[in-house]
Amino acid sequence: MSDAPEAERRQISAARRKARHYAVQALYQWAVSGTALSAIEQQFREDFDFRGTDLEYFQSLLHGVPAQVSDLEELFAPYLDIPLAKLGPVERAVLRIATFELSERIDIPCRVVLNEAIALTKKFGAAESHRFVNGVLDKVARELRETEINRPR
């Protein structure tokens, strides 16, 4: 009778979306500047309005992705049609985050991870790079979430 669970689910989704939004920017900054993660986190918390953001999720992405960066890149690098070193920093940040979510956050549906990654790439990436990111992540998802992808809807 009540829409409370649906409203709560939408609120959680929106809060995670904001967390990803900030995480892409923070991980971009980390990759191009080499600034310490703690300094980036502090700067972001001072400079941005985190109301309505899942701060815990932002922190898990900000610290979890760099801790596993080599493993994450090994998962998506085979599906790149360019050398990893030539991958743009925004696209690299999005691929790292989405691959982290696909491998570590099985509570988040695969289609949500891919849709969020595509939206972030459209917002921050080069023109049409969302198609490239989608193609790579589709292959990563088929490897990491085969059962989920093959499950009838």
CATH (domain of 75): 1.10.940.10
Q: Is residue 153 part of a domain?
A: no
**Tens digits of residue pLDDT in 17-53:** 999 999 999 999 999 999 999 999 999 999 999 999 9
The SS3 of residue 151 is coil
Q: Does residue 151 lie in a domain region?
A: no
Write out the residue range of the structural domain in which residue 72 sits.
4-145
Amino acid found at 130: H
Whole-number Å distance between alpha carbons of 112 and 5: 18
pTM score above 0.85: yes
Using one digit for the tens of pLDDT, what is the confidence trace for 37-95? 999 999 999 999 999 999 999 999 999 999 999 999 999 999 999 999 999 999 999 99
Residue 83 belongs to a domain:
yes
Is residue 60 included in any domain, yes or no?
A: yes
What tens digit of pLDDT does each residue of 105-139 get?
A: 999 999 999 999 999 999 999 999 999 999 999 99
Domain total of the chain: 1
Confirm whether 36 is domain-assigned.
Answer: yes
